[in-house]
Amino acid sequence: MNAGNRENQPTLRQRFLAAVRSGELGRPEAHGVELTITEFKAFFPEDNRNYLGSFLSGAALEKGRLQMTHTQYVIRLRKGVYRVHPDVFRPSQGAAQ
């Protein structure tokens, strides 16, 4: 991404949510869409590897919380495996657009 053109580029969060919603990233499982950190990094090869490595853990809901926010919209299942919060797929949900 060209540093001089960042304001016109979608954020990683926006690109991640668009890819998940379109079915390009993640796989449907019994309780929702799941993905691994390895799949995530492979899908966004042009982004900084260090940033990618912390992105999903930073977007994970804290233990005991169920409601997503605009910055927390994945659930950590185990090391390196995440489930996308089901509210991400609701059209009326404005918190994680």
Cβ atoms within 10 Å, residue 36: 17
Residues (pLDDT < 70) of the chain are 1-7, 92-97
Q: Measured at the alpha carbon of residue 22, what is the angle toward residues 21 and 23, in degrees to the nearest 5?
A: 90
Residue 63's pLDDT is what? 81
**pLDDT value of position 16:** 95
Q: CB of 68 within 8 A of CB of 88?
A: yes
- Counting Cα atoms < 13 Å in the Cβ hemisphere of 27 gives 6
Tokens of 63: 């233990």
What is the predicted pLDDT for the residue at 72?
Answer: 84
80 DSSP assignment = T
pLDDT at site 23: 95
Going by C-alpha positions, the residue among 76, 90, 78 that lies closest to residue 20 is 90
pLDDT at 92: 59
